[in-house]
């Protein structure tokens, strides 16, 4: 009764084939990641030391550490976050909870999607024109961070809006029926349930911001600075630009140094991503519906 027919056999062969094929694609996907990490660790690992992380570059950047660049990247990311997170979350709340479904809202949504697709070098030129020249911030941390903020706004907006919309409509309706205003509903029911997704979005934004090079090249990141920045109106060094510089612009560069810089940069980004995953898992454990 249960003996397999010719059709059953054929279906099973096809299914095995596809399983093998799709599995192979997954493995292929991992190859570049594994190679990049292995090469970086082998070649850049020896460069990493306490001195490397916490001292200034010396001998025309061919020796010494990367402290100014590391600190600079952290500053750029922090200032960019201060600018983009409130703006992005606010806009996302408006779009998800208040905005009527009309042509205007659809245009805004389209604009956000398009903003995500603008090449980063265009953002760089925009930042140069707007923040450096028009607002007279000069090439500075502020101008570079604001450029980065605009570049990464879509990430925050989209992540926030999606986690807000994942909160079931029934929760909102139950709350409205009790005489709550829209804001009371957002504050007491929607936000507490969307906060996981919002945080994940913010952390992903951090890792994106830390790695960007083009937008900060013209707006605030410097080739080499003997002194650390004193305020947001100073220029700064940054890891991503530093990597570009030591890889291509300096003659007689010892090989391990660019690899070391790349390793630090990628570790910074991976740490952020792991933090995001850990946070997500922790909060999913407390998932409420």
Asked if 71 is part of the footprint of other proteins (rule: CB under 8 A), the reply reads no
CB of 91 to other proteins, least distance (A): 21
Question: Closer to other proteins at the Cβ: 181 or 249?
Answer: 181
CA distance 92 to 85: 10
Asked if 188 is part of the footprint of other proteins (rule: CB under 8 A), the reply reads yes
Question: Closer to other proteins at the Cβ: 9 or 188?
Answer: 188
Cα angle 55, 61, 62; round to 5: 105
Asked if 180 is part of the footprint of other proteins (rule: CB under 8 A), the reply reads yes
Question: Closer to other proteins at the Cβ: 136 or 286?
Answer: 286
- In three-state secondary structure terms, 166 is coil
- In three-state secondary structure terms, 61 is coil
Among 23, 24, 60, 192, indicate the residue that binds other proteins (CB under 8 A): 192
Question: Closer to other proteins at the Cβ: 176 or 223?
Answer: 176
Q: How many residues bind other proteins (CB under 8 A)?
A: 20
SS (H, E, C) 68-100: HHHHHHHHHHHHHHHHHHHHHHHHHHHHHHHCC
CA distance 28 to 26: 5
CA distance 132 to 125: 10
Q: How many CB atoms lie within 10 A of CB 193?
A: 17
Asked if 189 is part of the footprint of other proteins (rule: CB under 8 A), the reply reads yes
CB of 85 to other proteins, least distance (A): 24
Asked if 177 is part of the footprint of other proteins (rule: CB under 8 A), the reply reads yes
> Which helix (DSSP H) or strand (DSSP E) does residue 63 occupy?
strand 63-64
CB of 90 to other proteins, least distance (A): 21
Q: Which residues bind other proteins (CB under 8 A)?
A: 100-101, 170-171, 173-181, 184, 188-189, 192-193, 288-289
């Amino acid at each position: 009764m249960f003996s397999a027919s010719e059709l059953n056999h054929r279906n099973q062969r096809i299914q095995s084939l596809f399983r093998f094929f799709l599995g192979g694609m997954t493995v292929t996907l991992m190859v570049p990641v594994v190679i990049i990490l292995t090469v970086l660790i082998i070649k850049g690992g020896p460069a990493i030391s306490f001195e490397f992380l916490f001292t200034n570059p010396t001998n025309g950047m061919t020796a010494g550490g990367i402290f100014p660049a590391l600190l600079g990247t952290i500053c750029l990311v922090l200032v960019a976050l201060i600018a983009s997170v409130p703006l992005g979350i606010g806009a996302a709340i408006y779009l998800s909870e208040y905005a009527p479904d009309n042509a205007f809202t659809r245009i805004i949504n389209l604009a956000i999607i398009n903003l995500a697709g603008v090449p980063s070098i265009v953002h760089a030129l925009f930042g140069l024109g707007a923040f450096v020249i028009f607002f007279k911030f000069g090439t500075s941390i502020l101008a570079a961070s604001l450029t980065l903020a605009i570049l990464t706004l879509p990430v925050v907006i989209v992540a926030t809006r999606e986690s807000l919309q994942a909160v079931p409509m029934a929760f909102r309706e139950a709350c409205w029926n009790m005489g709550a205003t829209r804001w009371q509903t957002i504050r007491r029911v929607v936000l507490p349930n969307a906060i996981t997704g919002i945080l994940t979005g913010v952390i992903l934004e951090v890792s994106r911001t830390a790695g960007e090079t083009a937008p900060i090249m013209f707006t605030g990141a410097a080739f080499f600075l003997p002194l650390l920045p004193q305020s947001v109106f100073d220029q700064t060094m940054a890891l991503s630009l530093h990597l570009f510089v030591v890889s291509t612009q300096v003659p007689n560069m010892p090989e391990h140094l660019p690899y070391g810089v790349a390793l630090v940069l990628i570790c910074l980004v991976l740490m952020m991503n792991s933090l995001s995953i850990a946070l997500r898992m922790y909060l999913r454990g407390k998932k409420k519906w």
